[in-house]
Amino acid sequence: MSSTPFTEWPREKKEEFANERMDKMRLLNEKIRQRYAEVEEDRIKAEAKNSSVTSCVSQKKEKCVTDKVAVTETKVHEREWDR
């Protein structure tokens, strides 16, 4: 990049710069999605073998926090610091 401020760049250069940054972000987001999918797949396999660190089977599903603000303005808070 040159030493001129971004505000003084020509429109084409700004668009090129923005497109490059968006391409980098898309690649990074795709890597993050792939990693998340791998982790979820491993978690599901571990839960199927009952060898996971945090298994849904072993944890009680208690009412902790349920927020449905968009639908019905329902909020249930069972923890004292949420009150």
pLDDT at 72: 55
Cα–Cα distance, 43 to 37 (Å, whole number): 10
Rg of the chain over all Cα atoms, to the nearest angstrom: 23
- The model's pTM: 0.52
Cα–Cα distance, 48 to 40 (Å, whole number): 12
Position 77, amino acid: H
Nearest to 46 by CA among 56, 36, 37, 33: 56
Which residues of the chain have a pLDDT value below 70?
Answer: 1-2, 52, 54-83
Distances, alpha carbon 83 to alpha carbons 1, 60, 65, 70, in Å: 52, 22, 11, 20
